[in-house]
Homo-oligomer: A and B are copies of this chain.
Amino acid sequence: MATTAAPSPAQPLSESSLARISAALDGRWAERRRASRTVCTEPDLVSVPGLSVADHRARVLAAIGELANRGEVQRAFPARLGGADDPGGNIAGFEELIVADPSVQIKAGVQWGLFGAAVLHLGTAHHHDELLPGIMSLAVPGAFAMTETGHGSDVASIGTTATYDPDSQEFVIHTPHRGAWKDYLGNAAQHGVAAVVFAQLVTGGVNHGVHAFYVPLRDTDGERDERGDLPMLPGVTSEDDGVKGGLNGIDNGRLAFDHVRIPRTNLLDRYGQVAPDGEYSSPIASPGRRFFTMLSTLVQGRVSLDGASAVVSKMALAIAIRYAEQRRQFTGADPDVETVLMDYGTHRRRLLPLLARTYAVQLLHNDLLERFHGVFSGEHDTDSDREDLETLAAAAKPLSTWHALETLQTCREACGGAGFLAANRLVGLRADMDVYATFEGDNTVLLQLVGKRLLTDYGRSTAKMDVAGQARWVAERAGDMALHRTPLRRASQSIRDWGSRARSAEELRDPAVQRELLEDRVETMVEEIALRLRPTHKASAAEKAAAFDANQAELVEAARAHGELLQWESFTGALESITDSDAKRVLVWLRDLFALTTIERHLAWYVVNGRLSAQRARTVTSYVERLLLRIRPYAGQLVDAFGYGPEHLRAEIATAAEGERQAEAMAYARARRASGEAPVAEKDLVRRSGSTQTPREAAAAPA
């Protein structure tokens, strides 16, 4: 029915326009992405619904062995050891592994992105030479033993100890109580023969805080048990985490250590060394800074989950939109032709804003990955580069992982019962993605970190600037479209001078207005929280804690708003590089849809705070509806640009099958009508002949 509501038939985008959009989405490492995507169609790598946990684990172990053999997963490691010193390209390829099976991706991530990366970034040359070859080849599968049952997000408080014994020149790794068991570790339940274990380093009666140690777990010379596992080494105990909500191809488990001794040299000692006599030294004097520096080397986990979330959101929308372009249900204006789902107002409203946000997520991710590569390749590796990278990753990952869950669920529901079948992928991907919201940093905790950074920046900027400085700073930023030079752009109420534009301008589609609205919200929220927290500077610790707690939920909201601003900036930045005018026109609509649906979601804030008049607020929704109609004819092409074909999606409903079924049904109905054998509908008879006749009499009456 809504075909008539759409504007006059839209010209499809040309192949070259589409290619330009694909190039923007796939970014700097497009070739790596596409190569990895192709590998992910290999029959031995792809997920198989309904496997038992044991079979799935065995299959995934074999799959990552295959990836190791092909050299797909070692590009971040040093070239001298067979890697490529290519951190960005490595992550780009890694992110696409989710196409095969999220368990394959995360098992690979445990081995090379966590276990191997810890040896690389926290160890020194001799660790690299001795340990990395076995890790890179998967000869030595390993666990990353940071999280404990009792401590997830609060890594600084873990209970495992590594106490130095100068007599034997060994560390004694020990689990003092049940809460200090390492938990949720991939490779811990079955396959890991070693682990990087995080523990409180104690030497000479001093606790120097959390450090990482290389600890053998299983006896590689021992005899495998009935399920094929090597025996544990003395003092090491493993427990299986059992069935999980997803990612069941990975053998997550728990580890405990009972006074397990390892050589002194197994301390991964880049940021903290212990001499044979037990003397501790570190290039970083502050224990706090040292801790955060060590943890910051592991940011790639968050970066790559952000990218994987973009990939999976693209896959979900490709499945649901291709199905919605074929699937028909209920008739509209024409009683003989059922309407395709994509032409329903509710369907557009459910799917197209997610499509727009998926573009934003991918484009922010591309910028994040560039930054990551800059830091880890050493090209842009100052303290502030690292700090910005961490804040950016902490803002991007929660938004993208939650977005992926929302997208998968909405797409699943939009496909009805067909969406619930494992054969159509959506439910399996959703189950696997679930934990992305809490691992590698709980989303809520990460947003609190971002919020604290915003508060700190606010404090810095107001403390350091005089009025003239503030004015200059604003002037500098007014025309500045560059990405997140600093997370916080404006500093104080007194310099908020753009507020009038949104109220007076005709056009919510003016990017300057969109930017102003998104930016203003972050900054005002941060400023208000800062003001509310200020009176507590002389307060007791308990009062300060209470005040912070009272503002915690809003701080998280401010961090989320900051992430949305970053997404908008990346989307807008990407538009600048697109010269193809057709592609640009459609992408500008999509960016506008992203901006306007984001503003719509927070509309109460804008109206309550006087940023939008009630009148203008009403136009937000009507402009969104207009954009949905404009974009609708391009929905299919906008998911084609993602580059995922049936061979990647492996979902029957994302092939031509549904269209063929519809065509068959329509052909059947046509043939019946033509044959004259089709029965007359009772309601048509009743209409024609009144209700005094029986239906049979009516049928017998001449038409």
Binding site for B on A (CB under 8 A): 1-2, 4-5, 49-50, 52-53, 147, 149-154, 157, 159, 176-180, 183-184, 200, 202-209, 241-246, 278-281, 285-288, 329-334, 338, 343-346, 348-350, 405, 409, 412-413, 416-417, 419-423, 426-428, 430-431, 434-435, 437-439, 442-444, 448, 540-546, 548-553, 556, 600, 603-604, 607-610, 614, 617-618, 625, 661-662, 664-665, 668, 679-683, 685-686, 691, 694-696, 698-700
Give complex CA distance A605, B348 in Å. 21
Q: Contact: B245 with A412, CB < 8 Å?
A: yes
A443, B413: Cα distance in complex, Å: 9
Nearest 6 A/B pairs, CB to CB: A245-B427, A1-B545, A603-B604, A345-B552, A5-B546, A243-B422
Q: Is the CB of A179 within 8 A of B661?
A: yes
Nearest B residue to A629, CB-CB: B550
How long is the Cα–Cα vector from A244 to B285 in the complex, in angstroms? Answer: 55
Of the candidates B152, B178, B330, B661, the one whose C-beta lies within 8 Å of that of A664 is: B178
Determine the distance from Cα of A435 to Cα of B158 in the docked complex, in whole angstroms.
40
Question: Distance (Å) between the CB of A415 and the closest chain B CB?
Answer: 9
Q: How far is the CB of A698 from chain B (nearest CB, A)?
A: 8
Shortest A629–chain B CB gap in Å is 8
Q: What's the least CB distance linking A355 to chain B, in Å?
A: 16
CA distance A545 to B3 in the complex (A): 9
Write the nearest CB–CB distance from A527 to chain B, whole angstroms. 16
- A345 vs chain B, min Cβ distance (A): 4
Q: Determine how close the nearest CB of chain B comes to the CB of A558; give it in whole angstroms.
A: 13
**In the docked arrangement, what's the CA distance between A19 and B259, Å?**
51
Contact assessment for B208 and A288 in the assembled complex, using a CB-CB cutoff below 8 Å? no
Does B553 contact A661, Cβ atoms closer than 8 Å? no
Whether B617 and A604, one on each chain, are in contact in the complex, defined by CB atoms closer than 8 angstroms, is yes
Nearest B-chain residue to A622, judged by Cβ = B550
Residues from chain B with Cβ under 8 Å of A553 in the complex: 345-346, 348-349, 625
Counting chain B CB atoms within 10 Å of each CB, which of A152, A153, A545 scores highest? A545
In whole angstroms, how far apart are the Cα atoms of A206 and B552 in the complex? Answer: 67
Q: Bound state CA distance, A178 and B657, in angstroms?
A: 11
In the bound complex, residues from chain B placing their C-beta under 8 Å from that of A346 are 444, 448, 552-553, 556
Question: In the assembled complex, how far is the CB of residue A209 from the closest CB belonging to chain B, in whole angstroms?
Answer: 6
Copy number of this protein in the oligomer?
2
Bound complex: CA A544 to CA B335 (Å): 13
CA distance A434 to B600 in the complex (A): 27
Cβ of A603: which chain B residues have Cβ within 8 Å of it?
Answer: 604, 608
What residues of B have a CB within 8 angstroms of the CB of A680 in the complex?
A: 205-207
Does A4 contact B428, Cβ atoms closer than 8 Å? no
Nearest B-chain residue to A624, judged by Cβ: B553
With A184-B417, A346-B448, A420-B435 given, is the CB distance from A428 to B245 under 8 Å? yes
Q: Inside 8 A of A207's CB, which chain B residues have their CB?
A: 679-682
Which residues of B have CB within 8 Å of A5? Answer: 545-546, 549-550
Q: Which of B4, B179, B205, B412 contacts A545 (CB 8 A)?
A: B4
Q: Which of B180, B281, B420 contacts A434 (CB 8 A)?
A: B420
Give the distance in Å from the alpha carbon of A348 to the alpha carbon of B207 in the complex: 35
Bound complex: CA of A321 vs CA of B562, how far in Å?
30
Q: Which residues of B contact A176 (CB under 8 A)?
A: 668
Instruction: For A443, give the chain B residue with the smallest CB separation.
Output: B413
Contacts of A683 in B (CB 8 A): 209, 286-288
User: B49 touching A546 by the CB < 8 A rule?
Assistant: no
Q: Chain B nearest CB: distance from A107 CB in Å?
A: 16
Measured between alpha carbons, how far is A19 from B5 in the docked complex, in Å? 56
| A439-B417 contact, Cβ under 8 Å, with A243-B422, A285-B691, A604-B617 | yes
A1 touches B416 (CB 8 A): no
- List 19 A-B residue pairs with CB atoms under 8 Å apart, sorted by A's residue number: A2-B550, A4-B542, A5-B546, A50-B52, A151-B329, A177-B661, A202-B679, A206-B695, A208-B682, A209-B682, A244-B427, A245-B427, A285-B686, A345-B551, A346-B553, A412-B434, A413-B443, A417-B435, A607-B608
Please indicate the chain B residues that have their CB under 8 angstroms from the CB of A417 in the complex: 147, 152, 183-184, 435, 438-439
Q: Known: A209-B682, A412-B434, A608-B614. Is A243-B50 also a contact (CB below 8 A)? A: yes
Q: Would A330 and B154 count as touching, CB distance under 8 A?
A: yes
By a CB distance below 8 angstroms, the chain B residues around A286 are 683, 686
**Chain B residues within an 8 Å CB radius of A202:** 679
